[in-house]
Amino acid sequence: MSLSPLVLQELALLRGLPREDLSRLGGQMTLRELARREVVFNKGEPGHALCFLLEGRLQAVDFTVDGREVGLYFVDSGDYFGELAVIDAKPQPEFMIAVAKAKIAVLPRQEARTLMLSIPSVAEQLMMRLATRLRQVSAQRTLLGLSNPAQRVCAQLALLVENSGSGPASIPQAPTHQEIAIMINTSRETVTRVFQVLQTRGILRREGNALAVTDPGYLADVAAGRAEPPKADKGGG
């Protein structure tokens, strides 16, 4: 089944490409539908394709040596993934799992490499993505070194905050408490207790699937050690 150029032009990496290029790429892609919690690919598998998320949400995860799941980053609708194994022809560095029902478009590796190497705007976006990902990994490593679980929750939220320039800061498509817990190596119960304190203080406000953040400065101050972490009830962990 060929994908329409109208669909492909909505994808961040392909936006702005000529219609003839989009038509050619659409003819090379295949569609795959995923159930919630279905594995897209496993760590260690060969990188056979560059993938684009058309619908749903995915999460890259890995596991510690003692078997604990660690959440690495999310992939949202319109984004792409799998590029690292396509670029260096080495195995996938992580597991990719659907956290909601999803639909992806799959571009085979050879066609993906042609796309990457022949169109400067695509190559530039890939370089910017890799630079961003390196910075995120560095920030996440620092976060995981914090000893206080409540401080880690605030630091993770601070990393997720987006400022639109108009209106309050927010966390679109906010992760669940369990997803945050596996990102920062703590329990879901701890995350829930910290959220309750932050919401009681009016720092966070749930708005559908998003979180409005009325005081992002507080989260940043807690993350940097300039403010005391929120204290949950004594059952915290």
Question: How confident is the model at residue 105, as a pLDDT?
Answer: 97
Confidence of residue 231 (pLDDT cuts 50, 70, 90): confident
Burial 133-158 (b: 16+ CB within 10 A, else e): eeeeeeebeebeebeebbbbbbbbbb
* CATH tag, 146-224: 1.10.10.10
Label residue 67 by pLDDT band (50, 70, 90).
confident
CATH topology of domain 5-143: Jelly Rolls (2.60.120)
Return all residues near 153 (Cβ < 8 A) that are at least 6 apart.
Answer: 180, 184, 186, 190, 191, 194, 195
Q: Return the CA Rg of the chain.
A: 19
Q: What value, to the nearest 5°, has the Cα angle with vertex 80 and ends 79 and 82?
A: 155
What is the mean predicted confidence (pLDDT) over 102-119? 96
Is a pLDDT exceeding 50 seen at residue 236? no
The answer on pLDDT for 41 being more than 60 is yes
Q: What is the pLDDT of residues 73-101, one digit of tens each?
A: 899 999 999 999 999 999 999 999 999 99
Collapse the DSSP code of 192 into the 3-class scheme (helix H, G, I; strand E, B; otherwise coil) and give the result.
helix
- Residue 203 has, within 13 A of its CA and on its CB side, a CA count of 20
Minimum mean pLDDT range among 63-67, 193-197, 233-237 = 233-237
d(CA 216, CA 225): 14
Element (H, E) at 54: strand 49-55
What mean pLDDT is reported for the chain?
Answer: 91
Structural domain spans, the chain? 5-143, 146-224
Does pLDDT of 237 surpass 60? no
